C-alpha cells in the first residue's frame, strides 16, 4: 500500500475529477522545512511559531524572526506559507510569557488571549512578518472565540500592511458564528485538535478522555460542515490544519464537507494525496454525508470508508 501511495503521489493535491485541494505541511521549526519540501507539500499550512520563544526569557530579535519567516517563504516560492502567531499556554507553556496560575489552563488565558495582553510581543511578531511580506504570506491567530477578536487581530495585521489575514477556528463559539468571523478576515483554518477538545470538553492532554474527542465523531464533522458552508457562502478559503487532515479517509471526508486546503505533518502527505486522487469530489461528499448520518465515531468511519473503495 505504501508503494502504491507513493507511486500515485505526483503533482498537486486533487480529487479524481480534478478538483484542486492544495496539500500543505504543518511545521514547528525551520528544521522541518526540508521534510515538507521533500514530501512535495504545496506550501506551509500551519507554521507553529512557538519554537522562536522556547526556552527563553527574552523575546527573539526582530532579525531572528524575519530570518525564520523568510526561510519558509524561500522554501516555497510561489506557494502559500501560513504563519500562526504565538500560541502560548495550556499544552504549549512557555517560560517567556508566563501566565497566571489557572485551575483549567486550556480554558484560560492562552493563544491570542495572552498575546493580546502583551502588545510588544504581538507588535514585534507582526512587524517581522510585515517586513518579509511576500505574495504567498498568510498570517493567522490561534484561539479566537469571537468575531470581535478576529476583527481586532485583522486590524492589527492590516495596519502594518499585512494583506492576507485569517484566524483559526478551534473554539466552538467561533464555528457556530463562522459567518461573522469570516466577515472580519480573508480566510479561516480549522484546528480540529482544539476544536475537538472544546466540543467534547475533553482535555487533549488527558489520556483518560482521549476516546471522547475522536475526530471522526459526527459532532465534530457537523462543526466542520458549518464552518465550510459559511466560508463557501463568503467566498473565502477554509483550510483544515488539525491532525484529522492526516488520516486519508478523513481527509476525503473533510474535502467532501467543503474544506479547500488540507495541512498535515509531512509524512502523511503522499497518502492523503493518493486517497484524494482515487475519489471524485462527489464521492467525497457522499462519504461525508454518510459519516454525518451516524451516531458514533466508529460508525462514521465505517460508513465513510464504504463510500471510499479506493482506500483498499
Ligand atoms: C489544532 O488545534 O488543531 C491545531 C492545528 O493547533 P495546535 O495543535 O498547535 O493547537
Ligand atoms: Mg490549536
> Which ligand ends up closest to the CA of 195?
1
- How far is residue 53's CA from residue 139's CA, in Å, rounded to a whole number? 18
Q: 281: which DSSP letter?
A: H
Residue 159 pLDDT: 98
Residue 312 pLDDT: 67
Ligand 1 lined by 46 (C-beta under 6 Å): yes
Ligand 1 lined by 193 (C-beta under 6 Å): yes
Exposed, middle or buried: residue 219 (CB in 10 Å: 0-12, 13-18, 19+)?
A: middle
Measure 36 CA to ligand 2 centroid, in angstroms. Answer: 20
> Which ligand ends up closest to the CA of 239?
1
Per-residue pLDDT of 83-99, as tens digits, reads 999 999 888 888 888 88
Ligand 1 lined by 191 (C-beta under 6 Å): yes
Measure 14 CA to ligand 2 centroid, in angstroms. Answer: 26
pTM attached to this predicted model: 0.96
Ligand 1 lined by 250 (C-beta under 6 Å): no
Tell whether ipTM is more than 0.95.
yes
Residue 1 pLDDT: 46
- Cα distances from 110 to residues 25, 79, 89, 230, 261, in angstroms, run 24, 30, 5, 26, 26
Ligand 1 lined by 13 (C-beta under 6 Å): no
Ligand 1 lined by 192 (C-beta under 6 Å): yes
Q: How many other CB atoms sit within 10 Å of the CB of residue 168?
A: 28
Stretch 299-307: mean pLDDT, rounded?
A: 98
Per-residue pLDDT of 206-239, as tens digits, reads 999 999 999 999 999 999 999 999 999 999 999 9
Q: 89: which DSSP letter?
A: B
Query: Residue 79 — left, alpha, or beta (φ > 0 → left; ψ -120 to 50 → alpha)?
Result: beta
Per-residue pLDDT of 95-123, as tens digits, reads 888 888 899 999 999 999 999 999 999 99
Amino acid at each position: 500500500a505504501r508503494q502504491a501511495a507513493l507511486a500515485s503521489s505526483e503533482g498537486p493535491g486533487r480529487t479524481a475529477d480534478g478538483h484542486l485541494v492544495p496539500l500543505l505541511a504543518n511545521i514547528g521549526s525551520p528544521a522541518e522545512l526540508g521534510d515538507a519540501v521533500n514530501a512535495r507539500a504545496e506550501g506551509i499550512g500551519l507554521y507553529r511559531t512557538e519554537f522562536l520563544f522556547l526556552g527563553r526569557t527574552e523575546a527573539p530579535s526582530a532579525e531572528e524572526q524575519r530570518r525564520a519567516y523568510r526561510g519558509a517563504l524561500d522554501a516555497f516560492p510561489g506557494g502559500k506559507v501560513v504563519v500562526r502567531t504565538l500560541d502560548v499556554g495550556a499544552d504549549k507553556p512557555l517560560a517567556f510569557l508566563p501566565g497566571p496560575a489557572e485551575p483549567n489552563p486550556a480554558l484560560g488565558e492562552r493563544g491570542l488571549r495572552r498575546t493580546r495582553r502583551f502588545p510588544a510581543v504581538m507588535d514585534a511578531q507582526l512587524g517581522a512578518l510585515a517586513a518579509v511580506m511576500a505574495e504567498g504570506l498568510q498570517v493567522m491567530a490561534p484561539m479566537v472565540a469571537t468575531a470581535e477578536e478576529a476583527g481586532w487581530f485583522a486590524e492589527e495585521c492590516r495596519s502594518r500592511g499585512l494583506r492576507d489575514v485569517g484566524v483559526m477556528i478551534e473554539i466552538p463559539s467561533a464555528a457556530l458564528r463562522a459567518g461573522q468571523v469570516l466577515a472580519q478576515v480573508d480566510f479561516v483554518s480549522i484546528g480540529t485538535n482544539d476544536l475537538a477538545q472544546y466540543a467534547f470538553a475533553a482535555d487533549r492532554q488527558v489520556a483518560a478522555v482521549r476516546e471522547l474527542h475522536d475526530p471522526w465523531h459526527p459532532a465534530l464533522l457537523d462543526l466542520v460542515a458549518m464552518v465550510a458552508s459559511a466560508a463557501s457562502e463568503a467566498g473565502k478559503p477554509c483550510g483544515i490544519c488539525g491532525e484529522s487532515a492526516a488520516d486519508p479517509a478523513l481527509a476525503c471526508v473533510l474535502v467532501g464537507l467543503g474544506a479547500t486546503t488540507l495541512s498535515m505533518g509531512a509524512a502523511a502527505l503522499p497518502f492523503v494525496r493518493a486517497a484524494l486522487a482515487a475519489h471524485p469530489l462527489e464521492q467525497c461528499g457522499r462519504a461525508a454525508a454518510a459519516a454525518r448520518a451516524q451516531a458514533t465515531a466508529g460508525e462514521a468511519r465505517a460508513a465513510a470508508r464504504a463510500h471510499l473503495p479506493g482506500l483498499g
